[in-house]
Amino acid sequence: MDSESDPPDADSHTEPRSTEGGAVLRRHRLPHLPGLEVNASIFDTRYATGSSPGHCVGTCCVSGVKVDVAQRDEILAHADLIRRAMGPEQEHDPDAWFEDSEVPDPDFPSGRCVGTRVRADGCVFLDAARRCVLQTVTIAAARPGFNLKPFFCSAFPITITNGALWIDEMCLDAPDGCCRPTPGGPLDVLDVCEVELRHTLGTEGLAELRQVLRG
């Protein structure tokens, strides 16, 4: 990513980028980003029939993820619950779950983020079956409003960088049938990533994006 026109990766939220899309969303659910620009990748990315992030095998978990510092604190507050869901091969010490340094980043609600630590086989929260234990705990708890899975993990392959909505370039390494783009494919981002876009933008924001993309 040496060019300002390159798409972002999962760990880059501070490098300057060109949005090249022209559209701005204002009815989304992210109050810290009142004018969310839409990058050209949202308009241009195409997919093959049958593609779905629901076929994920954890490719996007290789390099960890940045989380808002408030969400980090929420995760650490439930450390006992998370440890019980971890396999013996995982790191059970909460002090080793996140990087030491917080980074200023206006794309996050608190204005600061921190990365999850990465081990040889991927994110520290990834178990031997390549499942996220934060998602496992969230599903098991079945409590309305309770969600320990990081925002950008649930959003993938949708991401936000410098106040703009992008398709994350990490999806280029995803297996066929997941969220890997197919140039000239018959499906667009609304066909394949509706769940992830609704998570990111909310219902009204998704409707606004749909209007922008399809009229």
pLDDT at 19: 46
Q: Which residue stretches of the chain have pLDDT < 50?
A: 1-19
Helices (H), 33-160: 40-44, 69-77, 79-85, 133-141, 151-155
Distance CA 94, CA 212 (A): 43
Residue 11: per-residue pLDDT: 41
Q: Which helix (H) or strand (E) holds 47?
A: none
| Separation of alpha carbons 125 and 90, rounded Å | 8
The span from the CA of 63 to the CA of 170, in Å, is: 10
pTM of this prediction? 0.87
The per-residue pLDDT for 204 is 98
Cα-based distances in Å from 60 to 34, 101, 110, 175: 28, 22, 24, 11
CB atoms within 10 A of CB 206: 22
Query: Residue 20 has what pLDDT?
Result: 56
